[in-house]
Structure 1
Amino acid sequence: MTTHVWDYLAEYATERDDILDAVQQVFASGRLVLGDSVRGFETEFAAYHDLPRCTGVDNGTNAVKLALEACGIGPGDEVITVSNTAAPTVVAIDGTGATPVFVDVRAEDHLMDTSLVEAAVTPRTKAILPVHLYGQCVDMEPLLRIAHTHGLRIVEDCAQAHGARRDGRLAGTMGDAAAFSFYPTKVLGAYGDGGAVLTADEDIDRAMRRLRYYGMEDVYYVERTPGHNSRLDEVQAEILRRKLTRLDTYIADRRSIAERYAEGLADLCGPGRLELPAVSDGNEHVYYVYVVRHPRRDEVIRRLRERYDIVLNISYPWPVHTMRGFAHLGVERGSLPVTEELAGKIFSLPMYPSLRKAQQDKVIDALRDVLQTLD
């Protein structure tokens, strides 16, 4: 039986009655768009983060885009971010008309190298967009100081960091606004698509609510442009409400799997060999993905697939600045050396809460066998 890097069917089998009850509740409610389920989820997701305001939107990409627009970011502006991220982060910046400006990442944890950010600030810089990648947080203190000094906004990309903490603070509570994705693979995932923006700022929240609804507050009357049709679906919102009550359990299960991987693979690690995820000081990792490194990554992945029917993923094989779709940015290869080196070595082991111990053992044993034949 094929082992995939992610699968939801075992989780669905366990939670099926609750998920279907959520669907039935919405269908019987008489309100299918921006009803009680969206309002309830917004309130509960904000409360989980001890913040006053949340706006549900249709996906994580638009969460980033609309958060930037709500912060006043648009054509002619620059937004500092990283290239070692899922492309939607940069698609969203590009979609506002602003220009993404990349800084490199740290080799040890793949996160934004905050020591490089201030040098990237120009008179056109209006925001910093740190990506809390793979399940742990960027070091936010330096970014907060830089933002204060230069009058910049900070929009956190929390698509991969639901429930992650840094120095006790939850991802999404440290900047001006925070964008979340609820794509099915996420730590808190819907049964379709969805997103949200958290903020403590009343003006940002008001702008978000207009932006997601054509620029309207009252029906048929546009208050501002641009406006979008970016509303969180009622069914997905109700499912997310149910799953939010289990978020801490999902995180605990992910951490347990990460511990088993670390224990089962530790003796195969070292320079020029396998490298496991590093947790930065002050961080509480939630392991959205379990990203490892090996200099012969492609051969490892091929052998695992051919010999053991284990199908893995790379997050991400192409840094954004190397993609043809972003050639207009004019960022040269070699300008982000750590990002580019990591892209040739990283790959993800299976990671989801319902991954059974027998499946975990299969992955550990198979990877041990493949790596020992390569040494």
Structure 2
Amino acid sequence: MTVKKDMRVPFFSGKISFHKRWSQISERLDEVISEGKFIDGGAVRSFEAAIQNYTGAKHAIAVNNATDALQIILKAAGIQHGDEVIVPCYSFFASASSIANVGAIPVFTDIEPETYNICPEQIEEKITPNTKAIMVVHLFTQMADIKKLKEIAEKHNLILLEDSAEAIGMKAEGLHAGLHGLAGVLSFFPTKTLGGIGDGGMILTNDDEFAKTCRLLRHHGKQGTEYYHDIIGYNSRMDDIQAAVLEEKLRHLHEDIVRRKKLAERYDERLKELHPVVTTPTVVEKPYRAVHVYYVYLIEADNRSELAAYLQKRGIETEAYYPYPLHVQPCFQHLNYKYGDFPHAERASTRALGLPLYPDLTEDELDYVCDVITDFYEGGGNL
């Protein structure tokens, strides 16, 4: 087929829904300005309570971003210099950099090819006397096999931490992502399922003492008395403007998740005829209750780079996930990994492509994306 008219489709845009909800958001911002406290104030406390209510977490601790959240939970868990933390090699950089930044050693594993999540079967062979924790990452659409991961952690007396930055709304065994181990995190980066108008992150935990330590760490190790510091911490407090915007957007999160699912199903229907040249996301049903959320619509495609370039030429933005797996990043050369060590992750790094997916995406825009992809593979894809 040949697509006649070009259309601009950004990889992400939230302008329409933001403006649609502006009257409510602006009221919240007026409240913040009236209170006159713009960092770690009343709006932050209100948002933390709202996240506790939504996730079922006993403690929700707002921080400046999800990378800080990961470093704080690692430090609060006692992970220190020389400790080993098992983590998948296919993830956003922060999953591993947070481990390195507390002085520990990331020990990489491969992923499951269908879900892109950590492969539980590889974990036990990576465990050494120095292993202190498993950092689970829930990627794209579905949680990792948390039941198996909990069993492994308990068997070997390891701390289970969840990089659930992408996983708001996802559940397994009746528990929200981030609440299956000692702690988890959420990201509110603008492109996330619940995105702010800047950076923002949240720590989730049901452990009282752990929560107390995290609260100390986010605010320079200060408990209450000004200029008196119990421990050395971070400057990682959330801005009240972010908290106010996010709490208002949280009220609409369910409808946004439903909209994402509807768009993903339309992608599935439109792209199924291109199989196996293009493969659409696989949701792997587990033998326990699970709730999935389409944060990213990820295809795998032959000639991914050429397809991405063709889509860009036709006005469509995409995102390659993740073109350089963590184990071959220059900063981790000293760990002596190489290409060939983790074939599933390495294959995905050359084939996986995120297509536009967000509540403001229209059916016409989605159909245009699918038409251009079809055009590329039917011979029209000449740059």
Please report the TM-score for the alignment, with normalisation by the length of structure 1.
0.96
Give unmatched runs, 5+ long, in structure 2: 1-6
SS at structure 2 position matched to 1:198: strand
Q: Does 1:281 align with 2:288?
A: no
Aligned residue pairs, count: 371
Tell me the distance in 1 between the aligned counterparts of 2:175 and 2:220. 33
SS at structure 1 position matched to 2:96: helix
* Counterpart code for 2:282: A
Match of 1:177 in 2: 183
Of 15, 20, 29, 1:23 maps to 29
Q: Does 1:300 align with 2:307?
A: yes
Per-residue deviation, residues 269-323 of structure 1 (Å, max 9, x unmatched): 12xx1110000113432111111001211111122222x2112111211111111
Per-residue deviation, residues 321-373 of structure 1 (Å, max 9, x unmatched): 11112222222221111111110011011011110111111111111221222
Identity among equivalent positions (%) equals 35
Q: Does 1:217 align with 2:223?
A: yes
Match of 2:261 in 1: 255
Per-residue deviation, residues 215-265 of structure 1 (Å, max 9, x unmatched): 11022111112x110011111111111111111111111101000000111
Per-residue deviation, residues 89-145 of structure 1 (Å, max 9, x unmatched): 111111111110011001112111111111111111111111100131000111111
Of 352, 355, 359, 1:353 maps to 359
Moved more, 336-345 or 158-167: 158-167
Answer yes or no: is the 8 Å Cα contact 1:135–1:162 preserved in 2.
no
Task: Kindly state the Cα deviation for residue 374 of structure 1 after the two structures are TM-superposed.
Answer: 7.7
Q: Does 1:117 align with 2:117?
A: no
Answer yes or no: is the 8 Å Cα contact 1:156–1:175 preserved in 2.
yes
In angstroms, what is the RMSD of aligned CA positions? 1.4
SS at structure 2 position matched to 1:279: coil
Q: Does 1:332 align with 2:338?
A: yes
SS at structure 2 position matched to 1:364: helix
Of 350, 375, 378, 1:372 maps to 378
Match of 1:160 in 2: 166
Match of 2:198 in 1: 192
> Equivalences for 1:144-155 in 2 at 5 Å?
144-155=150-161
> Equivalences for 1:133-144 in 2 at 5 Å?
133-144=139-150
Please report the TM-score for the alignment, with normalisation by the length of structure 2.
0.94
Tell me the distance in 2 between the aligned counterparts of 1:16 and 1:74. 45
SS at structure 1 position matched to 2:143: coil
Answer yes or no: is the 8 Å Cα contact 2:56–2:176 preserved in 1.
no
* Counterpart code for 2:319: N
Moved more, 276-285 or 254-263: 276-285
> Equivalences for 1:58-137 in 2 at 5 Å?
58-137=64-143
SS at structure 1 position matched to 2:118: coil
SS at structure 1 position matched to 2:298: strand
Tell me the distance in 1 between the aligned counterparts of 2:152 and 2:118. 14
Give unmatched runs, 5+ long, in structure 1: none
Per-residue deviation, residues 137-174 of structure 1 (Å, max 9, x unmatched): 00011111111122111111111111012344321221
Tell me the distance in 2 between the aligned counterparts of 1:245 and 1:294. 36
SS at structure 1 position matched to 2:215: helix
Per-residue deviation, residues 161-207 of structure 1 (Å, max 9, x unmatched): 11012344321221110011110000011111100100000111000
Tell me the distance in 2 between the aligned counterparts of 1:230 and 1:370. 46
